[in-house]
Structure 1
Amino acid sequence: MSRRPFIFGLFFLLTVANQLQAQENRLTLQPAQLKSLGIETAVAGEMPGGRNGSFPAQVRVPNEQMRVVAAPVGGMVEMLAVAPGSTVKRGQVVAHLSSQQALELQRDALQAGSQSSLMQQNLKRDEQLFAEGLIAESRLQATRAAAAQAGAQASERRQGLALAGGTAGKLGGKLALTAPIDGVVLEQGAQLGQRVETSALIYRIAKLSPLWLEIQAPVAIAATLREGSAVKIANSEVTGKLIAIGRAVDPASQTVLLRAEVGKGAETLRPGQVIEVEVAALAGQQQRLPAAALARNVGKTFAFVQTSSDDKGVVFEARPVRVVSQGGDSVTVDGVKAGEKVAIKGVSGLKALLTGVGAE
C-alpha cells in the first residue's frame, strides 16, 4: 500500500479538525444578543475611558543641570540679589558676603606676592654677581631655590583667594558670589544678615530643560519595557521617552524605578511635582486589559476578541492568553495585539455560550 494517499488523508483530517476547533472558539452574535448580554468592548492596550495604564512619577532635575552657590568662607550675608523662581545668567552676581576670613586670605596673598617679588629681585642680583665672579655658585643655587619656593607659595595663596571669590592685590571689599550657570533659582539657603559657615548653601540653581520623570512601576511591567519606550503625562500632550530602567526592586512596594526624559513641554512641569505617567508602548504582544475582560475554563485563561462585524452579526474569538502581571483592576496579557477590540463587559455570558454551561 502506498504511503502517499495515507499522508494526504492524515493532512486532510488534521485540517478539518483545526477548522472545527476554530469554529468552536468563535461566537456570532446579533445586536439583540449583544444588548441582552450587556456586552461592551474596548481597545487592547487602553483602559475603559481611553487611558493607558498609569503609574506615579515625580519630576526631577537631571544631576548635570544643577549647581549650588555656597559660601566659600565663613562670613555674613550682606546682599541677596535674587530669590527662588528668579532667572539668572552665568557670571551674574547673586550675593555679597562680608568675611574676616576673606580679609586674612587677601592679606596672606599680598604678603606672599611681596615675598615672591623680593626673592625674584635677589635672584637677578645674585645672577649678575655670579656672572662677574663675585659669589660662589652654591649661593646662586640657594637663591634660586628660595625664589622658586616663594613663587609657589604666592601662587597657592592667589588660588586660594580666587576660590573664595576674593580679589588679589587689595585688602577689604566684599566677596561677590556669582551664578555658575544660566538657569532658575530653585532654593535660597540663607537670609540677609545671617552668619554662615564655609560651604553653607546660599542658592541652588538649575537648568529646567530637559527634565527627568522618575516613575515607580511594578516589576512585571518594567520587564516588558525597553529604553526608548514612549511615555505620556496623563491628561496632557507632553511626551517623553525612557532613558533608564532600574535594576533594583523596592522591597516595600515591589516596584522598579524608571527614568524618562522630557524635552519639549518641560516648561509646563515643576521640579518635585508628583504626576501620573502613561506607558504608551509595551514590548511585543503584551497589552493591558481590564481584569473583567478575562475568563477561565478548564485551567485556561482567554479573552473574547472581536474579529469581525457585518450584517451577519458580530464575531468574537475566544483567544487563549497568558497573564504577565496583574494589579488593581487591570492585567497585562500576552496574546492580544494592540488595537484589537476585546469584550470587557458581559464576558460571563459569552463564556456560557461558548461552553454551553452557566457562568462561573
Structure 2
Amino acid sequence: MAILHRLLAITFCTITPLGWAGETLQLQSAQVKALGIETIVAGSAQSGRNGALPARVLVPTEQMRVVSAPVAGLVEMLAVAPGSTVKRGQVVAHLASPQALELQRDALQSGSAAALQQQNLKRDEQLFAEGLIAESRLQATRSAAAQADAQASERRQGLALAGVAAGKLGGPLALTSPLDGVVLEQSAQLGQRVEASTPIYRIAKLSPLWLEIQAPLAVATAQKIGATVKLADSPISGKLIAIGRAVDAASQTVLLRAAVSTGADKLYPGQVVEVEMSTPAGAQQSLPAAALVRDQGKIFAFVQTAGSDQGYSFEPRVVRIVSQGGDNVVIDGIAVGERVAVKGISGLKAMLTGVGK
C-alpha cells in the first residue's frame, strides 16, 4: 500500500489539473502495473459478447405442416413418432372412417349418374338431328348432364381433400406426409376417435431455421438487413432477414429475425440461445460494466491514448449507456479498435479526484 500511495503521489504531481473533461493521465509502466490496470480493445472478443442478446430458435412458417384427420374416424395405425424423418407422400397413419366410405360411395354414384347423363345427351342429340324430338327436350337433357358433371366433380374434389382414394370402396384412410421433414409432435394416440380437422402430427423441414431476437431499440436501429448474426461460443451464424417496426411495451425491445442455413442441424426448434450481433464501425460497443465510472451525473470510460515502454496515457471519455445485460453494457462514445481500461479503474478515478482537489 505504501508503494501504491507513493505512485499516486508521483502521478498527481505530473498532471495539470484540468478537471475530468479533457484530462489526460500520464502513467509510467511501473505505475500501471502497481494499479493493476488492464485494457481491452473495443469491438474485440475480449470486450465481452458484443451485442449478446437472447434468441429463440423457430421453424419458418412456410416449412411447417400439420397432418390432420380430414374426416371423423378411429386412429387405426401410427407409423412414425416424434423425431422420425419422413419423406413427402410417406404414409404416417391410417384412419378407419365410416364417413370416408360415404364419400367414396357418393363419388361412385355421382360418377355413374354423370356417365348415364352423357349417354342420354348423346342419344338426344342424335334424335334431334333426325327431327324426332323437340329442341326443348334436348336442352333439358343438356342441363341434366351439366348438373350431373358438376356434382361428380364436386364429389371427386371432396375425396381429394379428404385424401380418400377414388374408384373403390373399403380399406383404411391413409394419411401421408405433405413434405420431406421431421416429425416434431404427435397429437393423437392409437385407438383414439377423432373428429374432422383433429391434428395428428406436426411435421417440419428443419433447414433453414429462424432465430427470433429481442433487441433494445438502439441496438436494433444500428442493424441492417444482411448483417451477420453469430451464436455465442459457436461457429454457427446466419443473416439478418427482418427488423421489426414495433417496440414491445413491456420489454422495450424490437423483434429481429435471422435465418440460419449452415449448422441448422445443430439447433432445435424452441431452443433458447445467445447471439452476437455484428456492430458497424462507429456504432455502439459492448464493454464490461466494471469499465465505467460515474461522476457528477456523467458516465466515463478510460481510453488509452498512448502506450509504450516509457509510459501510458489515459483519457476519461464521456459515454452513454444504451443497454445493459448481466455484466456487460452497450455504450455510445467508444469506437471500434480503441483500447479501454477494464481493471484498475478505482485507481484511475482516485487520481482524477485527487487532481480536482
User: What TM-score bracket applies, with the shorter chain setting the length?
Assistant: 0.7 to 0.9
Give the distance between the partners of 2:221 and 2:71, measured in 1 at CA.
49
Give the distance between the partners of 2:29 and 2:158, measured in 1 at CA.
85
- Post-superposition offset of 1:198: 0.3
Does 2:246 match 1:251?
Answer: no
| Contact preservation (8 Å) 1:225, 1:283 | no
Aligned position for 1:125? 123
Change (3 A) 1:26 1:245: same
| Contact preservation (8 Å) 1:227, 1:243 | yes
Q: Which amino acid aligns with 1:216?
A: Q
Give the distance between the partners of 1:271 and 1:227, measured in 2 at CA.
23
Aligned position for 1:68? 66
Identity of aligned residues (%): 73
- Post-superposition offset of 1:307: 2.6
| Contact preservation (8 Å) 1:75, 1:197 | yes
Aligned position for 2:7? none
Q: Which amino acid aligns with 2:37?
A: I
Matches within 5 A, 1:90-129: 90-129=88-127
- Post-superposition offset of 1:281: 2.2
Does 2:302 match 1:304?
Answer: yes
Aligned position for 2:27? 29
Change (3 A) 1:324 1:51: closer
Matches within 5 A, 1:176-195: 176-195=174-193
Aligned position for 1:52? 50
Give the distance between the partners of 1:348 and 1:47, measured in 2 at CA.
24
| Contact preservation (8 Å) 1:231, 1:281 | no
- Post-superposition offset of 1:296: 4.2
Choose which of 329, 332, 343 in structure 1 pairs with 2:330. Answer: 332
Aligned position for 1:287? 285
- Post-superposition offset of 1:183: 0.6
Deviation string 1:171-224 (CA, Å, 9 cap, x unpaired) is 111111111111111111111111111011111110101101112223333233
Change (3 A) 1:166 1:327: closer
- Post-superposition offset of 1:242: 1.8
Aligned position for 1:7? none
| Contact preservation (8 Å) 2:321, 2:329 | yes
| Contact preservation (8 Å) 1:190, 1:202 | yes
Q: Which amino acid aligns with 1:173?
A: G
* Unaligned stretches of 5+ residues in structure 2: 1-17
Give the distance between the partners of 2:297 and 2:93, measured in 1 at CA.
71
| Contact preservation (8 Å) 2:48, 2:328 | no
Give the distance between the partners of 1:94 and 1:187, measured in 2 at CA.
13
Give the distance between the partners of 2:308 and 2:186, measured in 1 at CA.
67
Matched residues, number: 340
Give the distance between the partners of 1:296 and 1:104, measured in 2 at CA.
79
| Contact preservation (8 Å) 1:24, 1:354 | no
* Unaligned stretches of 5+ residues in structure 1: 1-19
Change (3 A) 1:94 1:298: closer
Choose which of 302, 315, 318 in structure 1 pairs with 2:316. Answer: 318
SS for the counterpart of 2:111 is helix
Per mean C-alpha deviation after superposition, the further-off stretch among 54-63 and 247-256 is: 247-256
Deviation string 1:234-292 (CA, Å, 9 cap, x unpaired) is 22111112222222333333322221111111100111111222223256332112233
| Contact preservation (8 Å) 2:55, 2:212 | yes
User: RMSD over aligned Cα, in angstroms?
Assistant: 2.4
Per mean C-alpha deviation after superposition, the further-off stretch among 142-151 and 304-313 is: 304-313
Choose which of 41, 46, 59 in structure 2 pairs with 1:43. Answer: 41
Choose which of 129, 137, 150 in structure 2 pairs with 1:152. Answer: 150
